[in-house]
């Protein structure tokens, strides 16, 4: 189930791919899809602000 990033003060998030388990660090807001570098699964979709995450957020960084 997709989740939205919580908190306005987070700049970067680490997302674990639901298919292969690879972790990817990306900016918390963006305008392009973020895909897993190993299996090409879409990890984050832009929603006009924060990303909609398809995977598990394993870390948040400023």
Q: Which domain holds residue 24?
A: 3-61
User: Which parts of the chain register pLDDT below 50?
Assistant: 8
Total domain count for the chain? 1
Say what the pLDDT of residue 23 is.
96
Q: CATH number, domain at 19?
A: 2.20.25.100
pTM tops 0.95:
no
HEC letters along 23-57: EEEEECECCCCEECCCCCCEEEEECCCEEEECCEE
């Amino acid at each position: 189930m997709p989740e939205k990033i919580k908190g306005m003060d987070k700049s970067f998030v680490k997302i674990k791919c639901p298919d292969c388990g690879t972790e990817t660090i990306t900016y918390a807001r963006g305008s392009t899809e973020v895909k897993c570098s190993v299996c090409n699964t879409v990890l984050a979709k832009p929603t006009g602000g924060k990303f909609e995450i398809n995977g598990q957020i394993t870390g948040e960084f400023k």
